């Protein structure tokens, strides 16, 4: 869909469909909806008075104007109670309106943007565009039948009242688009099956981003990683015929702050390896590279938004498969840090590849390390599928993540990293084991990672739950969600404020 900004008045603008929003049982109409109501001889206020449109959250009603307005149709969408309004609801409402008009086959809409409930035009536009685009996302790449039945909106026009509004709406549109396109990219990679989205493809994607945005890129083959001493990453990679790649993407805006290391788990398929997983739901394990997808997407957005930062994206990418060459329970691995790990389960592979990636990140002397990983089923048990587990060793970095989370609506919840939990990882034969108990599994995963970040401020985001979802949410369809992308972008946007 193309979205553009034009100056004009909604009650005078000819179009297929005019989009309007209303709070629940408003005392009086304000802004664009009021202007349209006046021109329409009180049609909307009558609807509301008679209870035909209540304005309940996400309620959608379509009306034909019968030439009473230049717009052929009006779609009214409810925003719920005024006191409960925030930008998260706004993104949801934009999405619901977008889904409604797409599903009814509309190709074009206009939407007048004016300050709402104290939110300025730029913020409203950014959240509107983000909610709308994320809500109408569809993954149709591999559908070949009845492609003509796929519905898409062709064009949206954001109407500005005056020149000043044109400026702020244009800015909000740009930011919203960059963010949504980053999330789209992450979702496409997560939804893409493991026979398409291989480590090689992730590396190619990283190369593309590097070329498009003037970034540095290094892709290490498994043999090179082995020579460098990455005994944990290479142990996992060797079980598969599909070549593993250790990807390092660097965005350096010179004078900027940093570097900040973003480390993403890139297991393109997790069968569990020799400690093989039950086959039920195993297909979901194509999403085990969601961390790497989020890092790639964030790097792209950082460049497009021109962040004044030095960012290093590190993505160890491989399959985790059983084979004659696969690593085995009982194996002892020497990690890049020099520390040794006794493998208890080959299914706890994420922490292994991440251990080498975290150690590698230390070469850049990062001011902060953030890792994203679909690390543990235990985190899903603890927090469900709409909350990211948040663990870390630095209070101010944890607080930054929480602040970004409250703005983007990507929920995070803290889990502790107390020393006592390390007892579970003690090994008789190596420095530690890769698995503790089933109990406190998400925390133990975090404790394991903490052994590879030395004293650098670090947070670990366990997104095993939110990476892909079964039940849609207001602006997140089923499947790969792009979890972590908006959170990281917001974190970086606010870093210097
Ligand atoms: N990729 C999985 C974690 C996962 C599970 C993600 C469910 C999404 C949904 C990870 O590699 C894994 O298998 N973890 C094990 C760790 C255990 C062996 C300590 C797990 O959670 O069972
Ligand atoms: Zn696993
Ligand atoms: Zn995994």
User: Which tens digit of pLDDT belongs to each residue from 30-41?
Assistant: 999 999 999 999
Give the closest ligand to the alpha carbon of residue 377: 1
Q: What are the backbone dihedrals phi and psi of residue 356, each rounded to the nearest 5 degrees, phi first?
A: -70, -35
User: What would the two tokens of residue 433 be?
Assistant: 């084991």
User: What would the two tokens of residue 396 be?
Assistant: 């101010």
pLDDT at 497: 63
DSSP at 70? S
Evaluate: CB of 271 within 6 angstroms of ligand 1. Answer: no
**Do the Cβ atoms of 284 and 468 come closer than 8 Å?**
yes
Evaluate: CB of 345 within 6 angstroms of ligand 1. Answer: yes
- Residue 338, by phi and psi: left (phi above 0), alpha (psi -120 to 50) or beta? left
User: What would the two tokens of residue 398 be?
Assistant: 């944890």
User: What would the two tokens of residue 269 be?
Assistant: 């398929």
Task: For the chain, list residues with pLDDT below 70.
Answer: 254-256, 497
- Residue position matching structure tokens 């869909």: 1
Nearest CA to ligand 1 atom 8: 464
Which of 377, 382, 425, 465 is the pocket-test mutation for ligand 1 (most atoms within 8 Å of CB)? 377
Q: How many CB atoms lie within 10 A of CB 150?
A: 10
User: Residue 370, exposed/middle/buried by CB under 10 A (0-12, 13-18, 19+)?
Assistant: buried
Q: Nearest Cα to 114, choosing from 31, 3, 22, 208?
A: 31
Which of 347, 349, 371, 387 is the pocket-test mutation for ligand 1 (most atoms within 8 Å of CB)? 347
Distance 285 CA to ligand 2 centre (A): 9
Distance 39 CA to ligand 3 centre (A): 58
pLDDT at 255: 66
Residues within 5 A (CB) of ion ligand 2: 270, 347, 349
Q: How many CB atoms lie within 10 A of CB 224?
A: 14
User: What would the two tokens of residue 334 be?
Assistant: 């020497």
pLDDT at 496: 79
pLDDT at 220: 99
Give the closest ligand to the alpha carbon of residue 467: 1
User: What would the two tokens of residue 200 be?
Assistant: 């090689």
This prediction's pTM: 0.98
**Do the Cβ atoms of 460 and 398 come closer than 8 Å?**
no
pLDDT at 257: 76
Domains along the chain with CATH numbers? 2-177 (3.40.220.10), 192-494 (3.40.630.10)
Helices (H), 104-245: 121-135, 163-191, 199-213, 222-228, 231-237
Helix (H) or strand (E) holding 455: none
Counting Cα atoms < 13 Å in the Cβ hemisphere of 8 gives 18
pLDDT at 256: 67
Distance 348 CA to ligand 1 centre (A): 6
Question: Residue 106 CA to chain centroid, in angstroms?
Answer: 28
Evaluate: CB of 462 within 6 angstroms of ligand 1. Answer: no
**Do the Cβ atoms of 262 and 311 come closer than 8 Å?**
yes
**Do the Cβ atoms of 117 and 30 come closer than 8 Å?**
no
Catalytic residues: 277, 351
Q: In b/e form, how buried is each residue of 275-301, taking b as 16+ CB within 10 angstroms?
A: bebeeeeeeebbbbbbbbbbbbbbbbb
Q: How many CB atoms lie within 10 A of CB 87?
A: 19
């Amino acid at each position: 869909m193309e979205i553009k900004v034009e100056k004009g008045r909604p009650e005078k603008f000819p179009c297929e469909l005019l989009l309007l929003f209303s709070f629940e049982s408003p005392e009086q109409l304000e802004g664009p909806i009021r202007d349209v109501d006046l021109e329409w001889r009180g049609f909307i206020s009558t609807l509301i008075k008679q209870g035909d449109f209540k304005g309940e959250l996400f309620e959608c009603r379509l009306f034909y104007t019968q030439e009473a307005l230049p717009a052929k149709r009006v779609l009214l969408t409810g925003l719920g109670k005024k006191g409960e309004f925030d930008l998260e609801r706004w993104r949801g409402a934009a999405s619901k309106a977008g889904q409604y008009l797409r599903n009814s086959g509309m190709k074009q809409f206009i939407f007048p943007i004016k300050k709402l409930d104290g939110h300025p035009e730029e913020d409203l536009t950014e959240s509107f565009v983000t909610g709308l685009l994320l809500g109408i996302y569809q993954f149709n790449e591999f559908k070949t039948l009845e492609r003509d039945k796929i519905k898409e909106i062709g064009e949206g026009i954001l109407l500005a009242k005056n020149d000043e509004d044109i400026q702020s709406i244009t800015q909000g549109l740009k930011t919203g688009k960059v963010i949504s396109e980053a999330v789209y990219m992450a979702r496409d990679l997560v939804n893409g099956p493991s026979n398409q989205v291989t480590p090689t493809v992730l590396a190619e994607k990283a190369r593309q981003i590097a070329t498009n945005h003037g970034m540095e890129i290094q892709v290490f083959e498994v043999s090179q990683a082995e020579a460098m001493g990455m005994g944990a990453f290479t142990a996992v990679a060797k079980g598969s015929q599909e070549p593993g790649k250790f990807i390092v993407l660097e965005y350096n805006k010179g004078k900027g702050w940093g570097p900040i290391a973003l480390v993403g788990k890139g297991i393109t398929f997790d069968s569990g390896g020799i400690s093989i997983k039950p086959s039920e739901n195993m297909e979901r394990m194509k999403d085990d590279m969601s961390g790497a997808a989020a890092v790639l997407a964030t790097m792209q957005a950082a460049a497009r938004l021109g962040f004044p930062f030095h960012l290093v994206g590190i993505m160890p990418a491989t399959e985790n498969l059983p084979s004659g060459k696969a690593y085995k329970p009982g194996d002892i691995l020497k990690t890049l840090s020099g520390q040794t790990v006794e493998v208890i389960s080959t299914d706890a592979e994420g922490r292994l590849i991440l251990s080498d990636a975290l150690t590698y990140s230390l070469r850049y002397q990062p001011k902060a390390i953030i890792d994203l990983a679909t690390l543990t089923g235990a985190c899903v048990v603890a927090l469900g599928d709409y909350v990211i587990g948040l663990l870390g060793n630095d209070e101010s970095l944890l607080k930054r993540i929480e602040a970004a989370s409250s703005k983007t609506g990507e929920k995070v919840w803290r889990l502790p990293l107390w020393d006592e939990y390390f007892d579970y990882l003690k090994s008789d034969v190596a420095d530690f084991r890769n698995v503790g108990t089933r109990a406190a599994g998400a925390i133990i995963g975090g404790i394991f990672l903490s052994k590879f970040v030395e004293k650098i401020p670090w947070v670990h985001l366990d997104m095993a739950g939110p990476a892909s979802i079964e039940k849609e949410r207001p602006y997140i369809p089923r499947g790969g969600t792009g979890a972590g992308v908006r959170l990281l972008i917001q974190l970086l946007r606010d870093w210097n404020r």
